[in-house]
Amino acid sequence: MAGQEHITPKHTFLVLHGYGMGGLWWWIRARSTRDVLETFAWVEVITAPETLARFKDESLEEVDIDASRMPPRLDDLYAERAAQRGRAGFGALADRDIVHLSLRGENEDGAPVDQLVEVGPDGRRFRQVEVAEDGTAVRSTPDDWLFNPPVVDHFDPALADQKIGADDFEAQWSRARREDTGLWTRVCRMV
């Protein structure tokens, strides 16, 4: 009919804010996955059928994306995203399968390092090179890490300035030495 606006129907999405050893879960009614990701910082929409089935009967809080108030903890993620929206670089890295970034961090001993990371669309690392201040470089993969939570949020406007080229990452990856011990060896040493 003329004059009627087409309104996209909402669907229920399983949403996770993961933080390593655990996470917060919600059912969020929204128009699309992107709608969820543009509205809340540091979340991912879960689509794996086995995970959806596992949470199907859970009494998770259900939230409408257009609600005037968000529940505790989700409200912080909402506020963080609202503060980012409109800034230059917002969402510049969204919708990419692989992104290479240079982040400042610390190694296991607390010394400053440049962390060159290759991350997927969910912000989790595929590979990483830690370059120390003296120029030594160590590479690692998920087999070397106890946990692999998201390390970046692709909508974060600050990430646009931290993007590096795939060739730059690969050059550092090839020159870096392999992690001395894998996760299994480190776990065995702890026991």
Query: Each residue of 41-99: pLDDT tens digit?
Result: 999 999 999 999 999 888 899 999 999 999 999 999 999 999 999 999 999 999 999 99
Cα distance between residue 106 and residue 45, in whole Å: 29
Cα distance between residue 172 and residue 125, in whole Å: 16
> What are the pLDDT digits (tens) for 133-188?
999 999 999 999 888 889 999 999 999 999 999 999 999 999 999 976 554 444 44
Question: What's the mean pLDDT in 104-131?
Answer: 91
Q: What pairing do the DSSP bridges indicate for beta strands 62-64 and 177-178?
A: unpaired
Cα distance between residue 16 and residue 45, in whole Å: 6
Question: What's the mean pLDDT in 6-28?
Answer: 90
CA-based diameter of the chain, in Å? 71
**Ranges 6-10, 47-51, 106-110, 185-189, most confident:** 47-51
